[in-house]
Structure 1
Amino acid sequence: MNVKKKNNELTHTIDELNQVMDEEINLKESEANHSLTEFEKEIVEHNVEGKTWNTSDQ
């Protein structure tokens, strides 16, 4: 039937889109983890150097 064929095509397209979204999510998570790691390194270096944190917004 034509409806069954169209349904299969749509299901395949949805599966492909889900795969692309999963890949994008994994990439963004990887980038975020890398940024967090870099930020954590900066904090450690800052603390090791004995610097103080300026928390005022002025």
Structure 2
Amino acid sequence: MAAGEKARAKVEQAVGKAAQAAGRVTGSTKLVMKGRAAEALGNAREGKESLKKTGRR
């Protein structure tokens, strides 16, 4: 995995989890959903990079 893409995926996942937690505390469903979307984007990016790495072997 390219270090930059891996870091970007981890940041997106962390931001998503933080947004979800903030949304739960404040009762904001919209913020929880935005957090889930950001986390899913990070998971997808990480999966894409893993597939690229597997294809290089």
Identity, in percent, stands at 12
Q: Which structure has more RCO (C-alpha within 8 Å, separation ≥ 6)? A: 2
Structure 1 gaps, min length 5: 1-8, 43-58
1:18 and 2:33 aligned: yes
Greater Cα radius of gyration, structure 1 or 2:
1
TM-score by length of 2: 0.52
Match of 2:47 in 1: 32
- C-alpha distance in 1, partners of 2:56/2:40? 24
Q: Which runs of 4+ in 1 moved over 6 A?
A: none
Give the RMSD, CA atoms, in angstroms: 1.4
Q: Which has the higher helix share?
A: 2
Count matched residues: 32
Per the alignment, in what secondary structure is the counterpart of residue 47 of structure 2?
A: helix
